[in-house]
Amino acid sequence: MERPRHQGMAKNTYMRWRLPLVCLLWEVAMIVLFGVFVRFSPEADAHWEEEKKEMNLTSDIENDFYFRYPSFQDVHVMIFVGFGFLMTFLKRYGFSAVGFNFLLAAFGIQWALLMQGWFHSFKSGKILIGVENLINADFCVGSVCIAFGAILGKTSPIQLLVMTLFQVTLFSVNEYILLNLLHVKDAGGSMTIHTFGAYFGLTVTRILYRPNLEQSKDKQGSVYHSDLFAMIGTLYLWMYWPSFNSAISEHGDAQHRAAINTYCSLAACVLSTMAFSSMLQKKGKLDMVHIQNATLAGGVAVGTSAEMMLTPYGSLIVGFVSGIVSTVGYVYLTPFLESRLHIQDTCGIHNLHAMPGLIGGIVGAITAAAATEDVYGKEGFIKAFDFTGAYQTRTPSVQGGFQAAGIVVSLLMAFAGGGLVGAILKLPVWGDAASENCFEDDIYWEVPEDEESDVYHMHNPDKPVSP
């Protein structure tokens, strides 16, 4: 019988029975819950022909699928390729970065369809899902991918699945409070996705603080090819971020405006990031960590206000500022958080998602409070903020106040939820690696022979070196 690898270590990382058991049981649970609750929406159901007649539609092109699916494709690529490859910068953790991101996202989208469905599309005892539900599920999982960045390299796949289960649940509650009860606008998720996901992840990694993580310091860096792989993730995220921020906006001017605002913000962010990356290095050389991450901060920071009348030059300002803030964060704040507050943020999500997310929430609140009918037009003003029904008497200043309240609620949910989940993940039953074995693919993956010989042999003395 094969001996579990690394069984001599202080922690048991043997996954042969634990991981299959969790994956299979949870997937069976998903099948049962989908069978009981989930059905196709009218636009995806075979009764669409009758639905068309009732809605006086003459063509299938009016089906929401044809409006939303291109955006869904872009967002889907961002979640599975963008986030996955962005985290491959660690020299010995590429399999885990892409593979575990794949695992948690695949489970998370199923649970998100259920949780968000119960809150937003539950009718007559059933959850009705269409293409917009798929986009929203990806958004939800995006917040989990962000939190994963904080604990990258320090957790087992079972811990990640447990975190996903709880975080998707908490995300759905927070989203419902903000969008349905407070009636805030957050098209690109600066508050619901980035602020919540980042501070949730930072709280979890603080609870899971490892005082002996210095023992694996040699594995926390990158090598030339791992940084190139990470740039693949960066470029996919950067190119598709306009789709991310506009994916669920109203058809027409709002969606068009969200894409333009994001496009401009991202472009400005690259220049300010490059400038400060060079400026803050003693030799004036660019740091690849900044280019991989801070160049994306513009997409985060413009998320809430993306579909508002921020204007193209306003978007450039937001992107310019967020690039500076993010780059400065990587240089000064990340070391401070680790040394003083014991927050071990592997990917620097505080700089890419947390601070730009807060900037996005603040910009959204200011832009909403400054909105006028002269700028939007009478009908456009009502449509942009959905000032109808119970909200028809709401003023821009009041809307700005509720937007600001959304930031506070997201932070409170993140801190409380992250603390609870962190405490659960700290239990010694999940198969996480010892500190000296963190950031190491070889703990949970079969690594190709040549890689084991050249890179991993020193951590697995039972395997002979290849000649």
pLDDT, residue 450, reads: 62
pLDDT, residue 451, reads: 56
Are the C-beta atoms of residues 451 and 103 closer than 8 Å to each other?
Answer: no
Are the C-beta atoms of residues 96 and 155 closer than 8 Å to each other?
Answer: no
0.75 exceeded by pTM: yes
pLDDT, residue 51, reads: 85
Are the C-beta atoms of residues 286 and 273 closer than 8 Å to each other?
Answer: no
Distance between CA atoms of residues 253 and 258, nearest Å: 8
DSSP calls for 385-439: HT--GGGTT--HHHHHHHHHHHHHHHHHHHHHHHHHHHHHHTSTTS-PPPGGGTT
Are the C-beta atoms of residues 257 and 315 closer than 8 Å to each other?
Answer: no
pLDDT, residue 466, reads: 40
pLDDT, residue 52, reads: 86
Distance between CA atoms of residues 224 and 345, nearest Å: 22
Which of 103, 97, 203, 91 lies closest to 147 in space, CA to CA? 203
pLDDT, residue 467, reads: 39
pLDDT, residue 276, reads: 98
Q: Beta strands 126-129 and 38-40: pairing type?
A: parallel
The whole-number mean pLDDT for each consecutive block of 10 residues of the chain, a chain of 467 residues, reads 44 89 98 98 90 85 92 98 97 96 98 97 96 97 98 97 98 98 97 98 98 90 95 98 96 95 98 98 96 98 97 97 98 96 97 98 98 94 94 96 98 98 96 94 88 49 42
Distance between CA atoms of residues 212 and 436, nearest Å: 8
